[in-house]
Amino acid sequence: MPAKANGEAQGLLTSVVVDGRNSDASPREAPAAAPRLPSRSSNNHSRSSSSHAAASKAAARKASRRAAPREIEDSTARSRRLLISPEDQENQLLKIACVHGPAALLTCLLSRQDVWWWVRMGLRAVEVAIGPRPTDIPYVDECDPTAYAQEMIEMGFMEPLVAVLLAYIAPDSYTQSPRRARPSILPAADEPQQPTDAQKGPAAAPTALANIHQQQQQQQAAKGPRVNLNFMELQTIGLKIVERLVTDDVQWRTEICRVGGVPWLCEVGREYRERAAVLSRVVGVIAFLAAEEPLEVFLQRHDALDRVLYAICAFPDDREMVTKALLALLNLTKAQGHVLEVMERDLGLLPVLVLGRHWHLDVAIMTILCGVLAHLASNPSSRQTLVDNNIFDTLKSALRLDTANATLQAAALKAVVPFALNKDFWTKMEEEGIIDLVAAALVEHPTDVAVMKYGEFLMRPEKPGRCFTALS
């Protein structure tokens, strides 16, 4: 009996040592489950092949896991609702706006104007209500966007809306409520302070608190301006609404300026000047507002020209930004006050001329740029500055770019005309070959009124000296 037990125990021990997976097997089955140990006569090739096979199987398993990840089905996805930024179908304020009109929407929006996501829902409702049709929502399709916009202007919808948007311009705030002041870490000026050991000495040093504050300011200056993305989204939706309203309606352009839209617009352009998407919309709205001559006073009062020039200097490679900025500059420089203001800047006319060299192969940009140069050259004090910065190279590139484009040729000829009033400039244009290009444009477009108007003025037999204002 003991011999039999010792035999079973020896078999069980052999099973555990050889194969740990059989450690829980019964004692009677252990001897049969024990594998044979390899003999010493086996070569090392079998071991290496088995290890390589195991490694290849492990690699195959990892590759299969990466190629076909396990998909987890979320059974609650359909029932969940995102309250902060819901879809248009789930936006109850959109339904109120389309069914009950802008008055009901404005009442609901102002009831919780201190909650940013509530304001976002209201702004999105306005954007969809005046947006294009058709949509996937039945009650939105039943709402006429033209009549809706007219009702908005009759009830004075934009004045409280602009006030709400002004309250949410706080790029350095991480709070979720508008215009909440952040406490300063520096003590007040009239607060009594205990002098430190360093201050008691002959060379007074700043306090440790002031040093920390200075370090934080330096770190933040290196990182750039802090932006609250939630507030920036509100301003972006507001800009979309205003841009859609002022695109084709002159009445809305006047209304936006009347309710204080220009200060809000310039403030948004200043605070979010590093965000190309936001600044592009700001410059686009300025371009539409500047198209109306009576509104130039509002734009000049709030330094709208600074936003346009900054957009040109900061984003010279962005075609959309450059196009909108040049359109805004084209409308702004119709007034001599803005021309003088451009001349007073530190960089002056240099950013505009740099665009002419950078986009010399783009027909649309060169056409607008020639119009801007014509407005700038109408001032006698700016012509010499333009000539010193090689404006004739830009005009020559425009005349050679597309000789079959009558609009481009007319814009370039209009920019050449002011320089014909000076004999020295005329001689230089002859040396540059610009006069020959003018003659070629007259031959190419004999039926175009604008080309013939400016071309005949340049090619007249008498000497230069005729007043340019007679052609304007």
At 382 the pLDDT is 86
Is 42 a residue whose pLDDT tops 90?
A: no
pLDDT for the residue 135 = 85
**pLDDT at 30 > cutoff 50:** no
What does the radius of gyration of the chain's CA atoms come to, in whole angstroms?
Answer: 37
- Confidence band for 165, pLDDT divided at 50, 70 and 90: very high
User: Beta-carbon neighbour count of residue 58 at 10 Å?
Assistant: 10
Confidence (pLDDT) at 109:
94
pLDDT at position 63 is: 65
Q: How many independent structural domains does the chain possess?
A: 1
Domain assignment of residue 370, yes or no:
yes
Q: Is the pLDDT at 22 greater than 80, yes or no?
A: no
- What interhelical angle do 380-388 and 391-401 show, nearest 10? 80
Mean pLDDT of 193-218: 51
| pLDDT at residue number 462 | 55
90 versus 200: which is more confidently predicted? 90
Predicted confidence (pLDDT) at residue 121 exceeds the cutoff of 50: yes
- The neighbour count for residue 50, using CB atoms within 10 Å, is 10
More confident residue, 107 or 72: 107
Higher pLDDT, 124 or 74: 124
Q: What is the mean pLDDT of residues 165-176?
A: 65
* Mean of pLDDT over the chain: 78
Are 312 and 270 contacting, i.e. CB atoms less than 8 angstroms apart?
A: no
Residues 116-141, mean pLDDT to the nearest whole number:
92
What is the 8-class DSSP label of residue 461? S
Position 441 scores a pLDDT of 93
Pick the range with the lowest mean pLDDT from 290-294, 374-378, 441-445, 460-464.
460-464
Best mean pLDDT range from 24-38, 52-66, 329-343, 451-465: 329-343
Assess whether pLDDT exceeds 80 at residue 54.
Answer: no
pLDDT at 186 over 80: no
Contacts of residue 360, defined as CB under 8 A and 6 or more positions apart, other chains included, come to 366, 394, 397, 398, 401
Q: If you average pLDDT over residues 227-236, what whole number do you get? A: 88
218, part of any domain: no
- Residue 385: pLDDT over 70: yes
Residue 442 lies in a domain: yes
**Joined tokens for residue 108:** 């609901």
User: Is pLDDT at 222 greater than 80 in this prediction?
Assistant: no
Residue 199 lies in a domain: no
Residue 374 lies in a domain: yes
What region does 390 belong to: left with phi over 0, alpha with psi -120 to 50, or beta? left
Does residue 467 have a pLDDT over 50?
no
Phi, psi of 122, rounded to the nearest 5 degrees: -65, -40
Of residues 341 and 66, more confidence is placed in 341
Q: Is the pLDDT of residue 369 over 90?
A: yes
Q: What is the pLDDT of residue 191?
A: 44
265-276: per-residue pLDDT in tens? 999 999 999 999
Higher per-residue pLDDT: 348 or 250: 250
The pLDDT, as a whole number, for residue 134 is 85
SS3 letters across 73-117: CCCCCCCCCCCCCCCHHHCHHHHHHHHHCHHHHHHHHHHCCCCHH
Q: What is the band of 218 on the pLDDT scale with cuts at 50, 70, 90?
A: low
Within the chain, how many helices (H) and strands (E) appear? 27, 0
pLDDT at 17: 40
**Residue bearing tokens 């617009």:** 265
Residue 441 lies in a domain: yes
pLDDT of 127 higher than 90: yes
The answer to the question of residue 414 being in a domain is: yes
Confidence at residue 353, expressed as pLDDT on a 0 to 100 scale = 86
Domain that holds residue 395: 333-472
- Cα distances from 91 to residues 38, 99, 105, 183, 317, in angstroms, run 74, 13, 12, 36, 38
Alpha-carbon distance 339 to 462, whole Å? Answer: 30
**Mean pLDDT value of segment 144-169:** 93
The owner of tokens 């509002």 is 298
- Lowest mean pLDDT across 19-28, 100-109, 312-321, 341-350: 19-28
d(CA 207, CA 16): 72
Per the domain annotation, does 361 fall within a domain? yes
**Does 179 score more than 70 pLDDT?**
no
d(CA 72, CA 88): 27
Quote the CA–CA distance of 69 and 65 in Å, as a whole number: 6
pLDDT category of residue 380 using cuts at 50, 70 and 90:
confident
